Structure 1
Amino acid sequence: TRLVSRFPLCWTKEHFDQPTEYYLTKEENMSSEELAGLEKLQAYVNGFVPACCVNRAGDPVLDAKGNER
């Protein structure tokens, strides 16, 4: 069974009183419209391209060990 997050668009103090499980739902309990929306969201997120952090000169920003951030 796969759990999928339910994410509200507006947060209030009461949201922070809820456990993590409150925001999860099983895929088999989702409607066809919800599943279609989930697929669109997953495709959108999977299309993200990692970006590197650069300074104003366009040079990569490095941490104390010389690794890119």
Structure 2
Amino acid sequence: HNKGLNETSLIISKAEVNEGTTVKKLKPRARGRSYPIRRSTCHITIVLKDISVDEQLERDKRKKQLRNI
């Protein structure tokens, strides 16, 4: 799930939808005939980013810059 991170500090950084496999079935029709049915699927990938970690990194960078002055 969220691996112990605070839900309020998570944002979506990347979302992808890719083509998945196609499920092929036959639909029975009148007089012994059948018609193919193709059902497309997809793969959804969502990457989350913890904004509290980014804020902490920015603070560390600022402290380093102030030390160098």
Shared fold per TM-score greater than 0.5: no
Normalized per residue, which structure has more strand? 2
TM range (shorter): under 0.3
Q: Which has the larger radius of gyration?
A: 2
Normalized per residue, which structure has more helix? 1
